[in-house]
Amino acid sequence: MSAVVEFTPVVQRPVDPPAAASAPAGSARAPRRANARLVAWAASPRPWLALAGFGLALAFWYLAVEVWRLPRFAEMPGPTAVFREMFARDPVFGLSVYTPEYYLHILASLRRVGVAFALATAIGVPVGLLLGWSTAFREYVFPLFEMLRPIPILAWVPLAILMFSGNETPVVFLTFLASFFATALNTMLGVESLDESHVRAARCLGASPWQVFFHVVVPGALPHVFTGLQISIGVAWFSLVAGEMVSGEYGLGYVINTSYTMVRYPTIVIGMVTLGAVGYATSALVRLAGDRLMRWRDRELGLDGR
Residues 219-229 pLDDT 10s: 888 888 988 89
> Region 119-143: what's the mean pLDDT?
93
Determine the pLDDT at residue 300.
58
- Residue 33 above 70 pLDDT? no
As a whole number of angstroms, the distance between CA 226 and CA 100 comes to: 34
- List the chain domain ranges: 31-76, 88-301
Question: Which amino acid would we find at residue 208?
Answer: S
- Please answer whether residues 207 and 215 qualify as being in contact, where contact means their C-beta atoms are separated by less than 8 angstroms: yes
Determine the pLDDT at residue 202.
83
CATH of domain 88-301: 1.10.3720.10
> Region 180-204: what's the mean pLDDT?
88
As a whole number of angstroms, the distance between CA 66 and CA 76 comes to: 9
Tell me the CA distances in angstroms from 179 to 99, 124, 172, 255, 286, one per residue in order: 31, 8, 11, 22, 14
List helix spans (H) across 97-195.
100-133, 135-148, 153-163, 168-192
Burial class of residue 203 in the structure, from the number of CB atoms within 10 Å of its CB (0-12 exposed, 13-18 middle, 19+ buried): middle
Determine the pLDDT at residue 273.
94
* H or E element at residue 27: helix 18-43
Determine the pLDDT at residue 22.
45
User: DSSP class of residue 65?
Assistant: I
Total residues belonging to the chain: 306
